[in-house]
Structure 1
């Protein structure tokens, strides 16, 4: 899996000749809020460039059932990819966690930049203000994430997970309608839609290990569109790029599917050191495989590979293979 890395030229731009950049995005309020961040940062970097939003509704947004029936996370990206490849748009904005890493990006496209990473943690939203440890037995937690379900089963087996899908706004509406007693949502997502006041408790990464790519917005372009690539590459954050490269290679080597409870995060330290924490769970949370590897002289991609291989030595491949999908 090869993704375009930032070049020195990309971070020290001269003149950029793009005049209009059409940005394709999912049409949910959160996705559009993410696009507005990109538009604002691009306007600050290149005041002369105009932007236009091309919203699409993906099959993943329309489908409220099990994502496995649609082929997994790709259900959130294929219509966006199609618009980009058809020339209907010049730039796509993705939550990196929603972009499959078990296969390459669609031929003819690249990631031109990763914006500086937002909060990677999960949050509990409970109307009564309770924290996770204070929830009584039988409390229904709304989530369809196999990653969250496995970790809750391991740490809070007395709680019950109930399936709930849709964007964060619709999940909050379902909570208000009584479809669940509480929700687990991404801190970054709630912040992006201005609903951070709903957070009852922010869960640390040891309590709820995040998904691969958490908190990262990725900018995707056509590979031959050097004008747009050069225009947006300056938005990229070098530390986030290193973290994303390690995490995505980690997931690629593990070859997990949409029903695989896989979690992990890389961390680029201020002194340049890079590490990756990776975990694989059984769906019932009774088996937890854990690895924490420092890069040393390894590239980010090699760090991702080394961390995945350490989990494979612990039995990750057999564990992932035993899960139906």
Structure 2
């Protein structure tokens, strides 16, 4: 590495995005190289928009804004939640995810207002109102509890929790446990949903570090942060997402793991709007066939009507 290398790390300006960028910065400092790392916050249209993100084209729209900063050379590294990266469009030419950090907890959790007598979704009465920002969560909540009302609530996690506490209109809210942990609010989680009840989003719990492929020194440095197991799992999941032409706001769930006997296992699920209709497929393969595994699960889901379900939810 060149001596005194300066690296500009870009991210959105939400508290969670800043926490993720700070984590990457700290890992870079621990790499043993003599580095000057600068954090650069980028406010996107999604951060300013107060409506439904689907009206802007989903989270992928403002990820493209960060991509433009990377391609222009305003920043050297971009930090993303992998679950927010669409699967239906390739990364900008000349960029790559040089590192996937070790995967964190993929469970979703339930928050309740202060003083609530309830400790789990099963305890809520019929007609109770649940808040979530994800169609994937909405479908799975309604699949188990069709008698509940699920309301879309958007904004960064901090603002969602603030509105949840101040407005008093929701009986519970579902969020990612890893996200709460990153912003120091894991104590708000009351119930941890099982993976049987809430299959995670593709890329859940993973921070991806993107850079320009031409910056070979930075690519090599970021490779030191890369977790091979996480990369393998993400490759299978995102191949499935790509083949289904899924966006980050599509009703698609996917979770890849390594089994006790050293095989890859990928579970994929696609949901209808209310969770009453869904397609599910699970396959196994060897560790060196992550792409093939993802493609096979996507094909199995397509045969079971996944594209019809995705199109129906988009309307």
TM-score normalised per structure 1:
0.91
2:70 alignment partner, one of 74, 80, 84? 84
1:217 alignment partner, one of 204, 207, 221? 207
Counterpart of 1:240 in structure 2 is 230
Shift in Å at residue 205 of structure 1? 1.1
Report if aligned partners of 1:174, 1:180 keep a CA contact under 8 Å in 2.
no
2:11 alignment partner, one of 19, 25, 28? 25
Counterpart of 2:144 in structure 1 is 155
TM-score normalised per structure 2:
0.94
Report if aligned partners of 1:210, 1:264 keep a CA contact under 8 Å in 2.
yes
Distance 1:198 1:147 in 2: 22
Shift in Å at residue 296 of structure 1? 3.1
Report if aligned partners of 1:274, 1:294 keep a CA contact under 8 Å in 2.
yes
1:124 alignment partner, one of 110, 129, 132? 110
Report if aligned partners of 1:58, 1:75 keep a CA contact under 8 Å in 2.
no
Report if aligned partners of 2:108, 2:176 keep a CA contact under 8 Å in 1.
yes
Report if aligned partners of 1:247, 1:304 keep a CA contact under 8 Å in 2.
yes
1:173 alignment partner, one of 158, 162, 165? 162
Counterpart of 2:296 in structure 1 is 306
Please list, as runs of the form range in 1=range in 2, the aligned pairs for 1:198-277 lying within 5 A after superposition: 198-257=188-247, 260-269=250-259, 272-277=262-267
Distance 2:287 2:30 in 1: 36
Distance 1:90 1:243 in 2: 26
Report if aligned partners of 1:240, 1:268 keep a CA contact under 8 Å in 2.
no
The alpha-carbon distance between structure 1 residues 180 and 286, as it changes in their structure 2 partners (threshold 3 A), is same
Distance 1:53 1:322 in 2: 41
* Unpaired runs of at least 5, structure 1: 1-14
Describe the SS at the equivalent of 2:79.
strand
State whether structure 2 residue 47 is matched by structure 1 residue 58: no
Report if aligned partners of 2:139, 2:251 keep a CA contact under 8 Å in 1.
yes
Counterpart of 1:290 in structure 2 is 280
Question: Size of the alignment, in residue pairs?
Answer: 311
Distance 2:9 2:260 in 1: 32
**Per-residue CA distance 1:109-146 (angstroms, 9 max, x = gap):** 11101000001110000122521111122221111311
Shift in Å at residue 59 of structure 1? 1.6
The alpha-carbon distance between structure 1 residues 322 and 183, as it changes in their structure 2 partners (threshold 3 A), is closer
Shift in Å at residue 16 of structure 1? 5.9
